[in-house]
Chain A
């Protein structure tokens, strides 16, 4: 685009950058309202071969008690990056919807007296195949089996020979997802509540005072692997998200809470996270070859 310049003074009447900014704002505003009316997709389940993907980042609080490292409660600041994907498969009549979640989080924790520090990092993968139990104009309820895995590593900055501990699990479980759609200010919003929880699986947590040195040097892995079920290990995650249409995409505001607690091998461990996340959600169609 050419710049309109006053040749005598050399000043810019309408510079490129200002014009671009104004044009962009106008176009965005226009598309925002246009799409709010023509793409009321918030909370609408994906149709066949369609994928709804959400990417979000969050911050909140974590608290950790891991008796392998310390009987004290450590709590502090936590951040998380998360990807959620929901797809639909027309060829599967029973479990038509699939939901995937992968998240990475990190926490910096202090004990109550402020003289101890622990660092925590966690990774969680959840895959849920869901059937539509209920479907109404404003409400959907999905429920189904899930496969999930998680890894939680904690590092205590002061311990000498047992400075770190890892909790990990691979399990089969259940998941549920409920979607409320409602209108506010002439716009369709949605409230999504989802839960997931393992039922049976294998859990890794070293026995009582088993040092990692022995675990590796002597190959005592059997002393760290446990059969897990809801009465000896509790892993549970729950989150509620509000979807607000923004143009062709949606803004997501969510609150999540998860807990992992057990007393395997004689040591209690309890880890909770509660976070507020902000993200965006977009829809796209999967091509026939799976892309």
Chain B
């Protein structure tokens, strides 16, 4: 009987040895303790190995991530409390001026929104509400539409966070069927679901159009990226599609998937952007965690336009327009009026 036991005892250790390889993987990981210094190093390292815009931030903002480490490390001591630690870590992340970089602590969300707040908003909600009046239609939460007096459709999309069913888009486009053109107002749209932006853009083309590229971090090195994958806007062949002029109103508050929508619409013939440069956020975000359980979000998959320009810093409008003081004092939205003039000109001179 002993011999039999030995045989079984042989099989199990062999299998255990093979599976022990997994333990080696685990041991190879660098562990950080749950101390202020440990959390600081963990955050810096997560960003160092996963964040995708170090080159761009160095070029545009002069951010050297190694020197950022050295500067902020001196502010860390193991006696500091959560509030102070949160402030230091948020400050470090804020150097990147990226709306997709956030630290989720116990009491607050660390952020740097100067990409938006440092610029004129080019939007007055009161004036926009006056254009909509009281008899506008609601397609979905945060999505309003009406026909303006000169027979131009006006669609406001405040967010892409809510799903916008195909049937609703059909209904809206049918409603606008009699219109000469369409204005899509995505000012201050902070983004949401990329798929919703794709879905809407697919209603404005009859052909598959190359609108950009995307790649992702495929390793811990700062330049470890996959090869760029082309991104197309594919026509929604079985659904209603729009063939008349489209003006998209944008400002610095257009971020993330709203920025992506602007990039896609700009690539389509028959659609133009009016307003200010968009806010950017052209990096698909990812999340991770620090040893103390705080969550961190960062950009990890850079997106490009059709000419391989990064869209992280936004996309320039075809027609740069700013809200003027005189228009605002008269209750006129300069961007809407510019878009109306362009559409009316397009009817006369297509």
Contact = CB atoms under 8 A, between A and B. Distances in A.
B contact patch SS: mixed
Contact of A141 (B4, B20, B293, B297): B4
Contact of B285 (A158, A160, A214, A217): A160
Contacts of B26: 65, 261, 268, 270
Contacts of A214: 214, 216, 229, 284, 301
A75 interface: no
Contact of B289 (A70, A160, A208, A236): A70
A197 B22 CA distance: 13
B15 A161 contact: no
B210 interface: no
A210 B288 contact: no
Given A116-B295, A208-B217, A259-B22, A138 B1 contact: yes
B187 interface: no
A162 B216 contact: no
Given A71-B29, A113-B293, A134 B287 contact: no
Interface string A89-115: 000000000000000000000011111
A261 B15 contact: no
B242 to A, nearest CB: 23
A78 B284 CA distance: 33
A266 B218 contact: yes
Given A72-B291, A178-B8, A261 B25 contact: yes
A213 B196 CA distance: 12
B22 A270 contact: yes
Contacts of A178: 4, 8
Interface of B: 1, 4, 7-8, 11-12, 15-16, 18-23, 25-26, 28-29, 34, 42, 46, 50, 52, 104, 106, 194-195, 198, 214, 216-220, 224, 226, 229, 231, 284-289, 291-295, 297, 300-301
Closest 3 CB pairs of A and B: A261-B22, A113-B293, A234-B22
9 contacts: A71-B29, A161-B284, A162-B286, A210-B226, A211-B300, A211-B301, A214-B301, A235-B19, A265-B218
